[in-house]
Amino acid sequence: MRILRTIAEVRASVRDAKAAGKSVGLVPTMGAFHEGHLSLMRAAREQNGLVVVSLFVNPTQFAANEDLSTYPRDEARDAALAESEGVDILFAPEPAEIYPDGFATTIHVAGITEVLDGASRGPHHFDGVATVVTKLFGIVQPDVAYFGQKDAQQVLVVRRVVRDLDLDVRIEACPIVREPDGLAMSSRNVYLDADARAQATALNRALDAADAAHRSGESILPAAQAVLDEAGIDAEYLELRDAETLQPVTAVERDALLLVAARVGAARLIDNHLLRGVAR
């Protein structure tokens, strides 16, 4: 595996791979790898001749009061894990390589970025995500890009960018990877002390309760809220939304997402479940 720092190096390597007839898979990440990231790398490895993993803590998607300065970073550990999964290129640029002096362009996706995490974290968040992902697509020119379904809203934003800008890349959303107790794997889980770690399991238990209520024809949101209340978690949001448009829904006629975000201890955590619609 090669660790590359510059756009020119990555483009040259991708050009050579494509000339040799290889497909290119991209896994965009901010590092602090866990099993969720590794599952994306495995999917990319199975399906492509060249696998590129980007490792870049993107400053433009963090607000001033968020955890940019403390976000977990360990490039040596991440590089070893990526190499163990058969990754070909780890693209680990400095911020100035991605955002040089005079950088003045922002990608904004209207509508679906203004709710849920967009409302909680501010409009800068998904503008930063959309902009850096568009840049990575331009740099790597992947055939397929792999994202985790835990960040369901992010997946929808990226799909909209690809559709609206006619980008020639397929977006593959891979299943959420969970700890044995159900907690969705996240780089921010390292912020949790023992008590907060135990409390955090209520997020997935709340979604499980809502899923069970949906299958039995009972009210969905109250079932989830009851679990959160019992655990003493005050959610930033707990909402049922259409799985494609993120419009609020009250009944699951089409596939819907039940999404939750909450601060637990020192961590802000998100999770979601897909609820299957009755008319499929």
**What's residue 277's pLDDT?**
87
**108 annotated ligand binder:** no
- Per-residue confidence (pLDDT) for residue 280, from 0 to 100: 47
Q: Known binder of ligand: residue 188?
A: yes
**CB-CB contact of 275 with 202 (8 Å):** no
Look at residue 22 and tell me whether its pLDDT is greater than 70.
yes
Active-site pick, 37, 125, 214, 273: 37
Domain ranges within the chain, ordered by starting residue: 2-174, 187-274
Q: Which residues pair with 248 in a beta bridge?
A: 241
31 is in an annotated binding site: yes
Q: Which pLDDT score, from 0 to 100, does residue 279 have?
A: 56
Q: Is 149 annotated as a binding residue?
A: yes
Mean pLDDT of 106-135: 96
138 is in an annotated binding site: no
- Ligand-binding site membership of 35 (annotated): yes
pLDDT tens for residues 209-223? 999 999 999 999 999
Residue 16 has pLDDT above 80, yes or no: yes
pLDDT of 175 over the 60 cut: yes
Nearest-angstrom CA–CA distance, 70 and 47: 34
Q: Is 150 within any annotated ligand binding site?
A: yes
In the predicted model, is pLDDT for residue 260 greater than 50?
Answer: yes
The structure tokens listed for 174 are 């891979």
Q: Please report the pLDDT score of residue 103 as a whole number.
A: 98
Q: What is the pLDDT of residues 129-172, one digit of tens each?
A: 999 999 999 999 999 999 999 999 999 999 999 999 999 999 99
pLDDT digits (tens, 9 = 90+) for 27-85: 999 999 999 999 999 999 999 999 999 999 999 999 888 899 999 999 999 999 999 99
- Provide the mean pLDDT of the chain: 96
- Tell me which CATH homologous superfamily contains domain 187-274: Pantoate-beta-alanine ligase, C-terminal domain (3.30.1300.10)
Q: What is the dihedral of CA 116, 120, 121, 122, to 10 degrees?
A: 90
CA-based angle 104:51:29, to the nearest 5? 45
- The mean per-residue pLDDT over the stretch 233-242 comes to 98
Q: Provide the residue type at 21 as one letter.
A: G
**Which CATH topology does 2-174 take?**
Rossmann fold (3.40.50)
Residue burial 148-178, b: 16+ Cβ < 10 Å; e: rest: bbbbbbbbbbbbbbbeeeebebebbbbebbb
- Percentage of the residues of the chain whose pLDDT score is greater than 70: 99
214 carries an active-site annotation:
no
> What element of type H or E holds 261?
strand 256-264
pLDDT at 12: 98
pTM for this one?
Answer: 0.96
Residues 168, 178: Cα–Cα separation, whole Å: 31
Distance CA 275, CA 26 (A): 28
Structure tokens at 44: 């990319």
